[in-house]
Structure 1
């Protein structure tokens, strides 16, 4: 067995997600510092003025504290992952996936330029005015992310299905006739997509140095200008891709029975009637236009059940990011790097691991019919991520133990804690293990969300998966009230 050929246009679709993620993550670490910490000495923009290459100062602006910074970041994560419920509905029933992505890019341009206004020196002088503008920009940026994230992967995977679904065999360069494994091909494409996401995250580490040497507004201006490039890329892609709403899908019973009703705007409502009848045994209304098989409903329920397990996973992986970034600023090491630089270790590790898994490990296992099931890969990912979080607790405890400040004020201590080289390595290992867990768990769930969902509901199902991230953010919001010394362990 082997994976099928991936259409080249798919990689340009991935570039849309790379640009969106690059802009998103460029602002994530900067916002934590901007909201939490006060302006450095003699600074008007948040940059380090006096010897930034060796200074132990951290960029800052508003000085509103870690709890509010954590709350704001959780708000961004929550809304960015709950808004796909809106965009998923409109893409499945009204706009289509491509138009939804286009709308998301327009909203994002407004949000990023609004963020630039919040960070100019004149506005920073009025902290609560700046913070109010930040909240407005966060809401629009999160909404833009929702319209793009819930639609880009289904659109990407549809390109493969349309062109390759009838090709069951392929000939290798050595002349061997090999069966094409469609699930393995979708898995490979999903992992490529996830790697592009993390390329965007990795490239965003430039923001750590820009905020330190130049201030916050140049970072936000760069993200706004980058978002301006999305409409250009989408305009190029529009005539060259297969639009999902025009594909004659054959793989699920709904498509076979409802080809004449594919434009029905009430598919969500009618599917809900079938779901309620399946779960509660209630009779179906007589005027339904759709025909949905029990197998499709069971797959949908399996998806939702799986997504529930990702709530604690993302609580460990993403919802603690503000605390982890702040932790770096409390450690004193011989390597003077910006504290939010360390979060780039997560996507860097993913970029290294993904090709190893998709090009070496999984193909090797596939040829020998030893490919692990998706559930086994998810369990492996969960286990590795939990180990990384335990290591983070150990590092935080070491910071408390070695701090010269009172344990109730370590996060804002003027003198960082002197920690051992081993503790610093453990801090790096925390990000690396969380990245490894994502490679196994998150990338696999993206694939399952597409594969198990009915064709007319793919935007909505992926939105429900992203909602699990939002739910973890709700728990993170609750935790933010205790996200202060001495409770961070």
Structure 2
């Protein structure tokens, strides 16, 4: 492989990465007007990272609070639903203290593995399915800040419901706590759907430049401010904050184990109350893009309707599928609008490109369906493994916190050690490589799970019926399951952060929340698939799901690598095309004025001549901008 093939144009001159501030010297939130780099400057100037304003990262504090409360509650639901109320316990779900309770687990409803898995998957499915609706609403009707406030209020209600359902008098009435548990799951999913699709787009939209720019430092050195690397740093910081919040689930694990579930559900509520406090302070600083007021989704459907007109397969085979729907082509064909019959007007030229890129990004997201299952297991299956192993007094659901713990450790190592070293070696660890490695590591985690489940069957007093064994547990320490969670944590550092970047970068300006929701929706599809196979999660066949998922995960990783080998170059080309189309459409008002002055009418008898004028004007606009 040649050096040119190893390096994309955005990383050819990488020597060192520094942080800089390209905002005005007066400290206002308005960025300085900086020139775009020439091709020569792209390959010769040293690259630096943008240094965002201090308040931008307070968005990460909001995400920390939301994830801490979500996982602090959600991680406890496994034992809360699956395990029975401990005999001799305090009635709040905590087992008895002393030697008799050292290997016991906290519990409440005692409804078994399948029900616990089904309800946990319900939470995941709804939490990542509802954003399709809320993301659409955010882009068209409501501002992102309004969405966040609605999510905060619904979330507070949800956590209060969980606390009520975990009070000892409610748990003492058999399965009476099931109703508030289910209501809490639904309202928590709704709250999540109002927050998740808008937070990361809000963070990344605070970045002040649409492209790479050139800045002169105080020393007089001209440097290139790297947009991609800067957004990558912001995304990794955001994801790091997610897992700081997730790791605080440790506190609720011990609270359930030693005190009871009412305290385990109260702690997430307290953490959740950080969100309104931060929003009150942060609201006046953030640039909150107003909703478009129109349905970009409906506009995209117009493009698809034109694309799939008669003869679409022939155009697809010849590579003319998308070009056919361009308004310029439709005008050349003599059409008065995007509809075949009648007028109706034309959509923007750039909408064809936006539709194509959005669908292409959505196709990438489909590869995450199997990955998500490898990443988190099928429902409660990994948590069930820990309940079948020796705990020595440690809460069995504590082990799941090795996932966020490893992300907290690995993320700075990748960001400050591995990636800079690769850049100095002039090796482009491009997005497709990062996703492929993440997919493979997640598949390896499932393979390790199959091995651990085999060991459990071989060492349990009940043999291959270890999940609900009443004779004791396997003598093997449950800490071996931490290997599974550690591997999934490392895989997320590579695959998930890159997926977030792609969702933001490859989406139109007024569809970023919706496209982010599409990416999150893959988790809902994974949950739905998990629901389908839940009835098969019974002894003595629990090794099979791990093995099948490991094989599928590895297969999908190689298919992805083959299919998207040149994804980085494709994304660069898409950005260039979008800028060119935006510049061309920006020239339309001037062309309309000239056309009206010359002919006194809006109609043009010679569209070919208009296209020529637009091309010349577009080139002039781009040149003047540089």
TM-score (norm 1): 0.91
**Distance in 2 between residues matched to 1:19 and 1:179, nearest whole Å:** 35
**Distance in 2 between residues matched to 1:175 and 1:323, nearest whole Å:** 59
1:263-412, aligned counterparts within 5 Å?
Answer: 263-280=292-309, 284-285=338-339, 286-287=343-344, 290-293=347-350, 294-332=352-390, 335-412=392-469
Alpha-carbon displacement from aligned partner over 1:399-436 (angstroms, at most 9, x marks no partner): 011111152353343411112x6xx5642211111111
CA contact 2:118–2:379 (8 Å) conserved in 1 = no
CA contact 1:120–1:217 (8 Å) conserved in 2 = yes
Greater shift in the superposed pair: 63-72 or 175-184: 175-184
Q: Does 1:82 align with 2:133?
A: no
Task: Name the counterpart of 2:48.
Answer: 2
**What's the CA shift for 1:127?**
3.5
Alpha-carbon displacement from aligned partner over 1:334-392 (angstroms, at most 9, x marks no partner): x5321111000000100111111112222333355423221111011000110011001
CA contact 2:78–2:117 (8 Å) conserved in 1 = yes
Q: Does 1:459 align with 2:513?
A: yes
Q: Does 1:430 align with 2:475?
A: no
**Distance in 2 between residues matched to 1:157 and 1:48, nearest whole Å:** 46
**Distance in 2 between residues matched to 1:379 and 1:173, nearest whole Å:** 41
**Distance in 2 between residues matched to 1:132 and 1:481, nearest whole Å:** 22
1:128-167, aligned counterparts within 5 Å?
Answer: 128-160=175-207, 163-165=208-210
Task: Name the counterpart of 1:248.
Answer: none
Task: Name the counterpart of 2:109.
Answer: 62
**Distance in 1 between residues matched to 2:347 and 2:63, nearest whole Å:** 33
SS of 2:437's equivalent?
helix
CA contact 2:384–2:467 (8 Å) conserved in 1 = no
**Distance in 2 between residues matched to 1:299 and 1:165, nearest whole Å:** 17
Q: Does 1:187 align with 2:205?
A: no
Structure 2 segments unaligned to the other structure (5+ residues):
1-46, 313-324, 326-336, 544-626
Task: Name the counterpart of 1:473.
Answer: 527
**Distance in 2 between residues matched to 1:475 and 1:432, nearest whole Å:** 24
CA contact 1:274–1:292 (8 Å) conserved in 2 = no
Which structure shows the bigger proportion of residues in helix conformation? 1
SS of 1:3's equivalent?
strand
**What's the CA shift for 1:49?**
2.2
Task: Name the counterpart of 2:7.
Answer: none
Task: Name the counterpart of 2:278.
Answer: 233
Relative to structure 1, is the Cα distance of residues 33 and 172 closer, same or farther in structure 2, using a 3 angstrom cutoff? farther
Greater shift in the superposed pair: 359-368 or 10-19: 359-368
CA contact 1:345–1:431 (8 Å) conserved in 2 = yes
**Distance in 2 between residues matched to 1:203 and 1:99, nearest whole Å:** 27
RMSD over aligned CA atoms reads: 2.1
Q: Does 1:217 align with 2:262?
A: yes
Relative to structure 1, is the Cα distance of residues 170 and 358 closer, same or farther in structure 2, using a 3 angstrom cutoff? farther
CA contact 2:379–2:530 (8 Å) conserved in 1 = no
**What's the CA shift for 1:292?**
4.5
How many matched pairs? 467
CA contact 1:2–1:363 (8 Å) conserved in 2 = no
Relative to structure 1, is the Cα distance of residues 148 and 464 closer, same or farther in structure 2, using a 3 angstrom cutoff? same
CA contact 1:33–1:58 (8 Å) conserved in 2 = yes
**Distance in 1 between residues matched to 2:495 and 2:69, nearest whole Å:** 24
**Distance in 1 between residues matched to 2:139 and 2:214, nearest whole Å:** 32
Task: Name the counterpart of 1:256.
Answer: none
**Distance in 2 between residues matched to 1:228 and 1:236, nearest whole Å:** 13
**Distance in 2 between residues matched to 1:202 and 1:242, nearest whole Å:** 30
Relative to structure 1, is the Cα distance of residues 12 and 347 closer, same or farther in structure 2, using a 3 angstrom cutoff? same
Task: Name the counterpart of 2:537.
Answer: 483
**What's the CA shift for 1:284?**
2.6
Task: Name the counterpart of 1:19.
Answer: 65
CA contact 1:403–1:410 (8 Å) conserved in 2 = no
Relative to structure 1, is the Cα distance of residues 438 and 405 closer, same or farther in structure 2, using a 3 angstrom cutoff? same
Task: Name the counterpart of 2:17.
Answer: none
Task: Name the counterpart of 1:112.
Answer: 159
SS of 1:187's equivalent?
helix
Greater shift in the superposed pair: 309-318 or 405-414: 405-414
Relative to structure 1, is the Cα distance of residues 288 and 436 closer, same or farther in structure 2, using a 3 angstrom cutoff? farther
**What's the CA shift for 1:126?**
2.7
Alpha-carbon displacement from aligned partner over 1:196-248 (angstroms, at most 9, x marks no partner): 00000011211111001010011112212322332221111111111122xxx
CA contact 1:387–1:433 (8 Å) conserved in 2 = yes
**What's the CA shift for 1:268?**
2.1
SS of 1:41's equivalent?
coil
**Distance in 2 between residues matched to 1:115 and 1:42, nearest whole Å:** 23
CA contact 1:330–1:413 (8 Å) conserved in 2 = no
**What's the CA shift for 1:265?**
2.6
TM-score (norm 2): 0.71
Q: Does 1:446 align with 2:491?
A: no
Greater shift in the superposed pair: 76-85 or 169-178: 169-178
1:90-105, aligned counterparts within 5 Å?
Answer: 90-105=137-152
**What's the CA shift for 1:295?**
2.4
**Distance in 1 between residues matched to 2:247 and 2:166, nearest whole Å:** 23
**Distance in 1 between residues matched to 2:480 and 2:349, nearest whole Å:** 51
Structure with the greater alpha carbon radius of gyration: 2
**Distance in 1 between residues matched to 2:439 and 2:97, nearest whole Å:** 44
Alpha-carbon displacement from aligned partner over 1:125-168 (angstroms, at most 9, x marks no partner): 234321121111100101111110000000000111xx344771
